[in-house]
Amino acid sequence: MLFVEAPPLKRGAQIKIVWRMTGEGPLHVKATLPDGTAAKRAWGPEEHGGSSWQKPGQEWGTGLVFPKPGCWKVELTRTRGSGHVWLPVK
C-alpha cells in the first residue's frame, strides 16, 4: 500500500509503503536500480500490530527515498519467504 498523494512516485521524497508479507522471520527490504543505485531507507521495516487492511501475512511499514528516476526493484525477504515488486519513479 503506497501512501502518496498521486502517482508517479517522486525521486528524493520519502515514500511510506506498507507491506503484507507471508513467511517467517524479520523482514528485510532492499530497493535498487539496474545500475546498482540503492534507495535510502528513512525508517523501518517496522512490524505493525493491527490494521484494517485484511490481506494474508504480517504487516510492515517502511519509509524509502528513491534518489534517482527509473524503474526500481524492491526486494522483500524473510527467513522463509521472499518477493519483489517494480516501482516507477519520476
Domain 2-89 has CATH 3.40.640.10: no
Q: List the pLDDT tens digit at each of the 90 positions of the chain.
A: 888 887 789 999 999 999 999 999 999 999 999 999 999 999 999 998 777 777 788 999 999 999 999 999 999 999 999 999 999 999
Backbone phi and psi for residue 4, each to the nearest 5 degrees, phi listed first: -135, 155
- The confidence score (pLDDT) of residue 24 equals 95
**What is the structure's pLDDT at 74?**
98
For the chain, what are the domain ranges? 2-89
